[in-house]
Structure 1
């Protein structure tokens, strides 16, 4: 199965595109579309998506992104549970804004994650883009965590990550994945607007 997934499906822009990248493209679009609509099935589809992209990134030498997919599987399982039972008295979560304390914690985590992964990738791996790899990894982790808690501003983190991912994947000749992240960027804008409309009143956020 892995040999088939890593085999070339077709050639785009003079570069072979694997079946893993093709299926990652399709499941990624479905995943984000379901996420925009706040549909619980985004989590199992997302888990399948990250397993496929793990193969794509490892083959391209994006080691932090490949390793990140393991964390995404864990976050996907947690998000699946949290959306069903993570609210008050184990009720479904409601969409809300990010509190000041959450922003401070996310900011500190982002700095530490970026610095730690940058040093690791630069000194202990063959990554050709250690800083970009580290920044996008940190942003993606923080954005995914925010979406497990249905935080509106998590979409802003995804938008920032996508703006880096698009040229990064083009540089690595992952053209189909780069096009996918252009679509992700547009879906993130739609998700930001949809979740903003569905968010809880500000008074509910202050006690979260």
Structure 2
């Protein structure tokens, strides 16, 4: 699955292509608040872990493993709700939760940069660490159906486009450009759901 092929004029592999398609399905289902999106997230994250390992994006590789675990938890949250009796509804973060979220992002960034610089041969530890930390936050907020998850994803996805172009993951860069558009759509859709 690692052989090179060309799709839409972009150099890629079968593994990256399948991961791409499953990821688009994941986000499309998530925008519609369909819990089956979590299953697609688990599979696409597993495949992308291999893609990122090959590209020496170790933070992103580890992130995919965490995405698998958070996706299992998120699936349960969406399906059964917090107390097992009521399903989750889209909600906004309180101011204190926003401040905690920013603090978590910064603290995770510092820890990840230290790890990537100390324990790996990553050539982009700052970008990888910052975006991995933001993705962790986005995934957590998504699993709790917090509206602000889409804002985090918009910021992270825009920056990921540049990182993946730099790492010559052209199809994945295109995927994250599509994710920016889908995240804007998700923000609009969930904003309406939050006002009901």
TM-score by length of 2: 0.95
- Residues matched between the structures, number: 196
Q: 2:21 aligns with which of 14, 26, 29?
A: 26
* Residue 125 of structure 1 pairs with residue 120 of structure 2: yes
Secondary structure of residue in 1 paired with 2:5? strand
Write the deviation string for residues 145-192 of structure 1: whole angstroms up to 9, x where unpaired: 001010001100001101110010000000000001111110000000
Q: Name the counterpart of 2:181.
A: 186
Q: Name the counterpart of 1:82.
A: 77
* Cα deviation, residue 59, structure 1: 0.2
Cα RMSD over matched residues? Answer: 1.7
Q: 2:164 aligns with which of 157, 161, 169?
A: 169
Q: Name the counterpart of 1:63.
A: 58
In structure 1, how many angstroms separate the alpha carbons of the residues matched to 2:172 and 2:164? 7
* Cα deviation, residue 89, structure 1: 6.0
Q: Name the counterpart of 1:48.
A: 43
Please say which of residues 16-25 and 187-196 is displaced more in the overlay: 16-25
In structure 1, how many angstroms separate the alpha carbons of the residues matched to 2:143 and 2:33? 11
8 Å Cα contact 1:110/1:138 also seen in 2: yes
* Cα deviation, residue 100, structure 1: 1.7
In structure 2, how many angstroms separate the alpha carbons of the residues matched to 1:84 and 1:14? 40
Point out where structure 2 has 5 or more consecutive residues left out of the alignment.
Answer: none
Q: Name the counterpart of 2:108.
A: 113
Write the deviation string for residues 68-109 of structure 1: whole angstroms up to 9, x where unpaired: 111111100010000122245621100011112211221121
In structure 2, how many angstroms separate the alpha carbons of the residues matched to 1:70 and 1:51? 7
In structure 1, how many angstroms separate the alpha carbons of the residues matched to 2:111 and 2:52? 20
Q: Name the counterpart of 1:204.
A: none
In structure 1, how many angstroms separate the alpha carbons of the residues matched to 2:13 and 2:162? 19
Query: Between Structure 1 and Structure 2, whose CA radius of gyration is higher?
Result: 1
In structure 2, how many angstroms separate the alpha carbons of the residues matched to 1:97 and 1:171? 35
8 Å Cα contact 1:60/1:172 also seen in 2: yes
In structure 2, how many angstroms separate the alpha carbons of the residues matched to 1:130 and 1:13? 30
After TM superposition, where is structure 1 displaced by more than 2 Å over at least 4 residues in a row?
Answer: 11-16, 86-90
Point out where structure 1 has 5 or more consecutive residues left out of the alignment.
Answer: 202-208
